[in-house]
Structure 1
């Protein structure tokens, strides 16, 4: 609801729809109530049917002109002119009311219907122009709910002047709508109109598209049944209940309106970002059941509940049908299609009303007619079920999966409504097919390995969904089948990787799809990217990652469709498009990520007894003790530093982890100062960030002095707060109380009591460049940047249950802050800290002593391990992955490290501006069932972009994308790209 109502003009449009429906139905209800009070039995049914016919006839007679106006002129202009016409007509109706002219007022119903007939294609066609394809179903749900609310309001609040005021308000709302462009220039040929050529052509626009035509028929049957119920039920109520009170009868009918409102809203929620077609057979079956129940009910309240259910199921039925018509109709002919829809629906309604009049003359009675309606509804429901069996099965599967998965679809406008489409995207899990089909409003045929297809417990199910099996080494027939399906206008999905990803990354795109696409005579390629299934139980992610990603609420799945590509597109071009889609998918995902303190607190609370941080000196902090320490220091940081940023001067250590978390929890931006930079650069950074207070440690300052580093001049304008001093001010009672609070209170309470509210887009950290090329630049990284990069890295790292991160990189470097500090804290991985990355022996001892499994470093530091004889190969035996970044990894370092320790180094790439990791090599993997391998690394490269990241090599001058293999300027896009440079214009 939120995003939809933020669209400019949507609130005005919905308000206008309410007023329009209120005016249309208000007068009709006055006339119907007069007939009910004046006439009985068959005469009442006959006159009520005539009123309904007066309302329906203009939609038949003006079918072609109304569609022409909607396609030729701006839809907003047509709506404004129609709104002014309503003002004039309602003034005439009000005059008839005051003069007691019943029969002229009766006839004015026709004029009001003419206005509605002209209005209708423009207002319903405007929905697609206003909200786009992605929100069609949700918007239709709100429109249906709004118009039904207006009908209910018209039942109880009606008078001539109220109708006039509502019409004037409708004019005001029409002028508040965003202006739309006119259609193609064309003239209306009255000769073609009179001869019926227009009728044939315009009906053909709907008939030629099977989805549109069947949707129109579904709407026609529903509204025809509704019209008959409105005409018959008053007499039926008199006949079976002895009810003569119009308020009671209108109240029972009003329950159906309330039901439609609720059903429409629910249908919109089920169809968020896509069109849930499975609601159609569910609604149809429910409507038939409600109609069969009606004749047997013996009390007004029973009929009220039954009408409530009937309306609710009707809402489920109507919303996806209307959305399918709008989705599948082309932009240029949308008005004609909607006018054709009105024409067919009203012909059906007139036919049903004609049968109703005939039944009245034959004196069949209301009970017989209600039973006849139930039979018609059942026939329609069975036909709907026959047409959409896959949708219903898919819906049942989706509802089962909805307890753990929540689907979001972006780029639905890129999926053509008609014609052959070859969907190509990443393959992450065993349930990818279900997510793609749920995201698509069109049926999808999937290509699958024959080895899986032939399994006896799957084959019948896969045949039901029209799966195309493909055999390794003999795929010629499958390629032919795919090309034929594309020529037949179907949607075919193929996973070009040929296997499920073993590491969460994109694998090589096989070229088989190129043959199928080029062999087809028509169709386009639509790339897609799925985010959220890596780490699910259906993926190849590690057990720990599955456990971590399974915590809390339902998993968010994002399916992003990209702009259509030509059928001739190469595997490289398609893969690049998929990479770029990963960025938009991750942007949708990270929009809901928590701030760093909130994410850390949740992780720490889930692992209270587990060791969180260990210093190489031997001191350990469990998560419960770390929580207490952070809370205690948060109070002090908040009290000592009123500024928005706080400086931190500490090496990799438990103290640095506490200081950074406390600063963030206090609502500050943390600025880890680069103590290896020049005093001038440090001082410039402090002034730029507005730092007045710096958290440090006396012991660390002494060590720096021992190395000849005097930071006194650089820190002259700041107040230093040694951790030792802050800790000495904490009493035992306060420490014990805070420890107990940290254990007993939930994370949300602790954050509320101790923390300060922060937004994910607030600056979490400011990191400064060295200043080697002038004044140091401050890079602002938001909570969202860091959280996104943490999630990206942990996904490809595929964290194991026994992982331990070796943290020796300084936190003033993005590599040290994000990868070896925040990542283990937030992902619940124990970290071992050593303050000096140049101390190869000390680091190696810490790795051996605490069985570290992950080492992130630089080529310079890794070279020290290979050259130092005191670093024995067994000291690094526990490492399962070694990653190098921040500088180029030379082949001599890689080879020397492999020769001495038997460990490959996986090179990555990034910058402080990318938080920092943008790409990385990862270990190769093998699937023992099929013995398929997935290459994750290639020596001499920086690996594949992280999920949610896209690289593009462009010409430095023109910025045009260069062919694969050519050198150029690298552009990086992704969710981890910085907020910006500090105080930069």
Structure 2
């Protein structure tokens, strides 16, 4: 018997349209079943109390059940014939009409006082139900899509048990209010309430059944079974021919036997053990039935669109336990009514409820499996045979109950004990048959309480046939999650040292794990590969973690070639799989520790994406790129549920309410609680006195400082968009930015404007003026919120929970190195995804402190220096002048800074003026914006013991796109996480590729081309410039404008900027390459300050198209000396500037970020070398 069955979506062989759970036809079927089951039980439990005084309690209960059940055995073949030979709708309607007539006969039998006739009519009601059953259950798979079968059966079970409970209560109530007696029969007027109820429900059920749509005839040529015994035998043989179906039918039959015993026993248990009257028995059976209903729903929900047989052993265990508890509860009541307490009654209700839940879990998966696995042509016969078994067991239950009550003289409590003991061997047998499914489901159930699992793309798994699943490897639980989420059994390929350990060896054999170990030699390796190939050829799913080991850095490691050896020649597809968000869990190596770390969240989010099949993969690199692309999709999907940075800011400030959170060089220090208090106070003041409700974009002119942090945070938690204006721009450019963003108000300070006076076309608010408006109430209330009120209450009170991840977080205006500033729109999702990537690689901890020296109008300063410490449990300190090396050194020493990012230009300042002792706490230094000379990196390492690494990013990429992991954060020396001379690999969930700039076709590894980046860090677009946005973002890929090479390990080497190339004589000449060589030639190691000394640009030339121009500061070498050394660098002659193309300047123009001001450089060159006009 297969442990898990997934229904296929193939077209039906017999026509008809399959619908959903809310289709009118299925709802009509549910209503018909509800009214029918209610009437069955209402009539039976109306009759049983009438018969008790005449033939005895045990006899009335057993006989009532036997009379109702016997027709199911005698008419099983006829019921199957009708369900196959005629439309099931016709059979259902005919049965409902017969129900009306039977109810009328029943009332007449009570009037004449004939006990034998009365129980004969109960048997007639059983005949009607027996003929109705196969048509009803056979209709479900004809009405519903296959992936709705489990839930459909769950609803049918729910409807049945609820209606049965209502019928039980209604029948007893009808008896109580009419009090009919066979020894003294009454008139019709005495029974009119019962008559109206019974006949009325039957009529209503008939009318509802007319709403069921026409259903096709399954077997129109089937002959009537004139020999029912022979037909029943044939049906039983048909069932017996399929061992899984036979076992399932026996399981269903066992359930109905237990249910019948429990139903009869509840009546006796309530009267004898709990000393209740007949009319008070209703709640006991009602709670049992309610439990069955809930168990049926749970079984449908837990099945998740498939048939999950692993639930059945859990149900069996629950039946055993609750039956024993009912025995203990009832047995603890002594003789006499006074001894049955409310506690006994309450405990009985509780255990009956759990017994019902367990029963629902036991039955529904079996019922669904039976329907789905039976062929359409024989489904009626199979279900009829299963019904025959079920009602045979019910008949046995009625006889067994009579024997246990009358002859063995067992109490109702003892009968519950027998019920539990009978289930023990059944549960053991089921577990023995389904160990995989049982363990798999139990692990799934436990994991759902610890992890929140999101699965996408399950439809991409083939429903049959072999395939190789190729996944990334993040944690020790990856294989378990793949087994749990797959709709089919998966054989994992795993290292033998893991799967042969004593405590997992049994499980490994159970799940047919394929062991592999490269250390055992090539023969053993080929044997494992052959085993995997054979499994795929036999139609099985096999999974391999193609990286060959768990990641120690969060990076996707290069895929090994073994996957191609497995799949080659099998004709089976590769199914790419990406496991997301598990990096950082306790079962990953995040933080350098496995397991022994505190979980970050509970429940912990896990996302798994199954990609489209790859029929013929070119090589392992091809597969890796597809898996990487799934990682990008997974990261982008996070925005549908992840918290935005301002909400995380609230939580982190509260978790550090008494610990230092931010500080600056001006002596301002604030704990998380006080930072949040300040942000909330400022928010109140701005909303009350300054900003209008519709004023979304707000300008900020402040340096990196605690004040700048508070202002940005207050605007963010207000749902507004802080725009930090670039104060290194001209007044004209600043006002251009204000106009572009629609900024009406700019927040700044008097002290700032004194140092940088600006005439702005906006309302300027001096934050100093707000201090006088702060009241004691403002302070106390906001402090109360910050320190005592839960974050979720704050965010709902200020509407922050309504802000979506895809909404705007900020607009960063580019520095304008090549023209007017462009507004780059970054969303909350851009910001948090970039922070997540940085955290994945740097493995941040509460011990970390970041130094923020880059301004907040710089994307790195905004994302990494400002928001990263805001949303992580870490500290930050700030200084407004990155060239002030002495103050920077003091800050690092005072606050024990562990990481900071800067440019190589600024790094030279620190190398000259900071002491080794000041950098003692530092272990991460990352540079960007310009090429990091390896000589500078080595020199820095020699002095401070820290090797600076290089990263890469742009404002449009939020900004980090690639980075070399610093040595101090590399956990595995065998895992390549950094390469000097490169800018690193793309950060997790980000992809890079190079393309031919002319054809835009992808280039292979190692070839230089235009660099494109794809990932959740790609901006929303340029503000008010959709044309430019469409120009640089193509199918999610951002054109960086940089030329680069990507090596076989994925490391990127930037070779130049598209705008920093000249086309001379038809050849592309890179400015950056020439600039680097000349800088190396002219650099003076004895110089006190290391500044940019050379910049290469170009001006138009009438002969060659363009002419190289070298701007330089006063140098210690002559132009001729420079050109002589340059000619020895093996450069093409076209790359060599002429001696009259050198231009001495006082200083090389730079932007506020430390980058070259390319526009200004080109302007100076153009003015010095005007284009010659020829006639």
Q: Distance in 2 between matches of 1:244 and 1:456?
A: 55
What residue in structure 1 maps to residue 855 of structure 2? 810
Match of 1:499 among 549, 552, 574: 549
RMSD: 5.2
The equivalent of 2:678 in structure 1 is 629
- Aligned partner (choices 761, 765, 776) of residue 721 of structure 1: 765
The answer to whether structure 1 residue 46 and structure 2 residue 96 are counterparts is no
Q: Deviation string for 1:29-59 (max 9, x for gaps)? A: 2443465356553653432113545886566
Say which is worse superposed, 815-824 or 341-350, in terms of deviation.
341-350
Residues 794/293 of structure 1: CA separation in 2 closer, same or farther (3 Å cut) = closer
**Partner residue in 1 for 2:1171:** none
Aligned residue for 2:870? 825
Quick one: structure 1 residues 292 and 685, their matched pair in 2 at CA, closer, same or farther if it must change by over 3 Å?
same
Tell me, yes or no, if structure 1 residue 515 matches structure 2 residue 565.
yes
Match of 1:917 among 960, 974, 999: 960
Quickly say closer, same or farther: Cα 1:451–1:44, change in 2 above 3 A: closer
Matched residues in 1 for 2:655 and 2:146: separation? 47
Shift of the alpha carbon at 1:659?
0.6
- The TM-score with structure 2 as length reference comes to 0.67
Which consecutive residues of structure 1, in runs of 5 or more, have no partner in the other structure?
Answer: 1-7, 70-77
Offset of 1:566 from its aligned partner? 3.9
1:377 to 394, 416, 423: 423
Aligned counterpart in structure 1 of residue 923 of structure 2, from 848, 866, 880: 880
CA contact (8 A) 1:926 1:932 kept: no
What does 1:725-764 align with in structure 2 at a 5 Å threshold?
725-730=769-774, 735=779, 738-739=782-783, 742-748=786-792, 758-761=802-805, 763-764=807-808
With over 3 angstroms needed to count, the CA separation of the structure-2 counterparts of 1:628 and 1:49, relative to structure 1, is closer
Residue 824 of structure 1, CA deviation: 1.1
| Structure 2: gaps spanning 5 or more residues | 1-18, 110-119, 171-196, 334-343, 1027-1175
1:359 and 1:452, CA in 2 relative to 1: closer, same or farther beyond 3 A?
closer
CA displacement at 1:822 relative to structure 2: 0.3
1:421-460 aligned at under 5 Å gives the runs 421-440=467-486, 442-453=488-499, 455=501, 459=505
CA contact (8 A) 1:141 1:264 kept: yes
CA drift at 1:661: 0.5
User: Contact 2:293 / 2:360 at 8 angstroms: preserved in 1?
Assistant: yes
Instruction: Tell me how far 1:25 sits from its aligned partner.
Output: 1.2
Contact 1:224 1:348 (C-alpha < 8 Å) held by counterparts: no
Shift of residue 936 of structure 1?
1.9
Say if 2:78 and 2:224, in contact at 8 Å, map to a contact too.
no
Q: Pick from 248, 251, 256 the counterpart of residue 216 of structure 1.
A: 248
Query: Structure 2 CA distance, aligned partners of 1:205 and 1:578?
Result: 47
Distance in 2, Cα, partners of 1:457 & 1:226: 37
- The verdict on how the C-alpha distance between 1:341 and 1:766 changes in structure 2, with shifts beyond 3 A counting, is farther
Aligned to 1:21: 33
Report the CA distance shift for 1:56/1:388 in structure 2 as closer, same or farther (over 3 A).
same
Match of 1:148 in 2: 161
Quick one: structure 1 residues 111 and 563, their matched pair in 2 at CA, closer, same or farther if it must change by over 3 Å? farther
Per the TM alignment, residue 314 of structure 1 is displaced from its structure 2 partner at its CA by 1.6
Match in the other structure for 1:72: none
SS of the equivalent of 2:703 reads coil
Residues 501-650 of structure 1 mapped to structure 2, 5 A cutoff: 501-518=551-568, 521=570, 524-542=573-591, 550-551=599-600, 553-566=602-615, 570-586=619-635, 589-639=638-688, 640-642=690-692, 643-650=695-702
Matched-pair contact (CA < 8 Å) for 1:256–1:310:
yes
Checking the alignment, whether the CA contact within 8 Å between 1:24 and 1:116 is kept in structure 2 is no
- Matching residue of 1:257: 289
SS state at 2:974 partner: strand
Residue 703 (structure 2) aligns with: 651
SS in structure 2 of the partner of residue 424 of structure 1: strand
Asked if the contact 1:841/1:870 (under 8 Å) is kept, the reply is no
> What is residue 716 of structure 2 aligned with on the other side?
664
What is the correspondence of 1:280-295 to structure 2 with a 5 Å cutoff? Answer: 280-288=312-320
Whether the 8 Å CA contact 1:218–1:321 is kept in 2: the answer is no
Query: Could you tell me whether the CA contact under 8 Å between 1:785 and 1:977 is conserved in 2?
Result: yes
Shift in Å at residue 854 of structure 1? 2.3
**Match in the other structure for 1:5:** none
Over 3 Å counting, the alpha-carbon distance change for 1:846 and 1:927 in structure 2 is: closer
Verify the 8 A CA contact 2:313 2:427 in the aligned structure 1: yes
Distance 2:717 2:151 in 1: 38
The worse-fitting range, judged by mean Cα deviation, of 369-378 and 277-286 is: 369-378
CA distance in 2, matches of 1:960, 1:162: 72
- Residue 826 of structure 1 and its aligned partner are, at CA, apart by 1.3
The 1-side partners of 2:559 and 2:939 are apart by 33
Deviations 1:182-207 (A, max 9, x none): 99xx99673799999x9999999999
Match of 1:862 in 2: 904
For residues 910 and 274 of structure 2, what CA distance do their matches in structure 1 show?
Answer: 101
In structure 2, C-alpha distance between the alignment counterparts of 1:477 and 1:728, rounded to whole Å: 80
Please list the CA deviations of residues 859-916 of structure 1 after superposition, one character each: whole Å capped at 9, or x if unmatched. Answer: xx3244348874568476754333355x5x54x6455444544655545455545433
The correspondence for 1:478, drawn from 519, 525, 528, is 528
Whole-Å separation in 1 of the counterparts to 2:906 and 2:859: 21
Q: Distance in 1 between matches of 2:219 and 2:147?
A: 26
Q: Does 1:190 align with 2:255?
A: no
Aligned partner of 1:342 among 383, 408, 415? 383
Separation in 2, partners of 1:831, 1:779: 25
What are the superposed Cα offsets for residues 107-149 of structure 1, whole Å, 9 maximum, x if unpaired? 6876676666445345346655566xxxx86776566445533
User: Quick check: 498-507 or 237-246, which moved more?
Assistant: 237-246
- Residue 694 of structure 1 aligns to a residue whose secondary structure is strand
Residue pairs, 1:841-856, within 5 angstroms: 843=888, 846-847=891-892, 850-856=895-901
1:73 is aligned to: none
Contact 2:814 2:823 in 1 (8 A): no
Question: Could you say which residue in structure 1 is the equivalent of 2:1083?
Answer: none
Shift, 1:796, TM fit: 1.9
Structure 1 contact 876–901 (Cα < 8 Å) conserved? no
* 1:508, distance to aligned residue in structure 2 (A): 1.8
Is this contact kept in 2: 1:152–1:254, CA < 8 A?
yes
Residue in 1 aligned with 2:137? 120
| TM-score with structure 1 setting the length | 0.78
Max Rg structure: 2
Q: Which piece of structure 1 moves more, 827-836 or 273-282?
A: 273-282
Deviation at 1:663, TM superposition (A): 0.8
Q: Aligned runs of 1:669-818 on 2, under 5 Å? A: 669-677=721-729, 682-683=734-735, 685-687=737-739, 689-705=741-757, 710=758, 712=759, 715-716=760-761, 718-730=762-774, 735=779, 738-739=782-783, 742-748=786-792, 758-761=802-805, 763-770=807-814, 778-818=823-863
Distance in 2 between residues matched to 1:869 and 1:583, nearest whole Å: 38
Q: Offset of 1:247 from its aligned partner?
A: 5.5
Question: 2 CA distance for matches of 1:117 and 1:724?
Answer: 82
| Range with greater deviation from structure 2 (781-790 or 581-590) | 581-590
Matched position secondary structure for 1:559: strand
Q: How many residues align?
A: 929
CA distance in 1 between partners of 2:234 and 2:860 (Å): 65
